[in-house]
Amino acid sequence: MTDASAVTGSGGGALEPPSLADEVVFRPVRNGNAFEDTVARLLQAVRLGIVEPGGALPAERDLAARFSVSRDTVRDAIRSLADAGYLVARRGRYGGTFVSDRLPVEGTGEPQAASPSMAEIDDVLGLREILEVGAARAAAGRSLSAADRDTLWQRLTETSAASVDDYRRLDSRLHLTIGQLVGTPTLVTLMADNRTRLNELLDHIPLLPLNIAHSNEQHETIVAAILRGSRDDAAAAMSEHLEGSAVLLRAFLS
């Protein structure tokens, strides 16, 4: 677990929860495409709700150390995302780099990407089933601290109250928080990468209000099973929940 003070943005705002940010985003990037990977990691932090709109990023020097890249690379990545509307720089005593209060609408003004193949959809959904059903089962089998239980319930509450514009981001963070409770950092990394691919698929289909309401009910069932320590119930509820998304994706994209 990373100390909260180590992931405090230059504006003084701590990332919530710090360990989730470290496991998913703030880790060394691959050699060879340092700029592109740094942009992708920062964008992942925004799209998955790890850093919320208005939230502060760590200072450039801290990001450079975490990503194992130069400060110039971090600065160029931040500038690119600021130009695209995802980040904003603020000067002064409480300045720093912050996630924009209003995020760009994905795909606006750009040509639509080709529809994904069924093989790609099956790959994403199959891996999701393995990762997330297993995560729910494992989380339910853990002895959760009071802080863990409070965080999980808070993420559920935030997702249930989310607007349509914020729903996918907060839904992503709820699912990643379940993975975090398992206590295996690599699992969270795999879930985040899979969720990024899933959200790219979901961008091809509409958000249906009735489906959101149903998803929220299923989320509550999943969280309740985890909190009472029922491994089988948590796994079954998660499997049913994922099947709903899979059915919609295949229906819209087949």
Average pLDDT for runs of 10 along the chain of length 254: 36 47 77 82 88 92 93 93 90 87 63 74 97 98 97 97 93 97 95 95 87 93 98 97 90 81
First to last CA, the chain: 43
Q: Is residue 111 part of a domain?
A: no
Q: How far apart are CA 9 and CA 100, in angstroms?
A: 14
Are the beta carbons of 212 and 44 closer than 8 angstroms? no
Tell me, what's the pLDDT at 19? 58
73/133 same-domain check: no
124/193 same-domain check: yes
Tell me, what's the pLDDT at 11? 39
Tell me, what's the pLDDT at 106? 56
123/246 same-domain check: yes
Helices (H), 48-117: 60-67, 71-83
Are the beta carbons of 242 and 216 closer than 8 angstroms? no
Tell me, what's the pLDDT at 108? 39
Q: How far apart are CA 96 and CA 25, in angstroms?
A: 19
Looking at the 3D structure of the chain, how many domains does it have? Answer: 2
Tell me, what's the pLDDT at 147? 96
DSSP state of 13: P
Q: In sequence order, what are the beta bridge partners of 96?
A: 90
Around 146, how many Cα atoms within 13 Å sit in the side-chain half-sphere?
Answer: 0
95/123 same-domain check: no
Question: What's the token pair of residue 205?
Answer: 């289909």
11/91 same-domain check: yes
175/226 same-domain check: yes
Tell me, what's the pLDDT at 154? 97
Q: Is residue 110 part of a domain?
A: no
91/146 same-domain check: no
Give the number of other Cβ atoms within 10 Å of residue 8's Cβ. 18
213/128 same-domain check: yes
Expressed as residue numbers, the domain containing 15 is 4-99
Q: How far apart are CA 197 and CA 97, in angstroms?
A: 26
70/141 same-domain check: no
Tell me, what's the pLDDT at 109? 35
Question: What's the token pair of residue 236?
Answer: 């079954």
92/123 same-domain check: no
Tell me, what's the pLDDT at 234? 98
Q: How far apart are CA 1 and CA 151, in angstroms?
A: 15
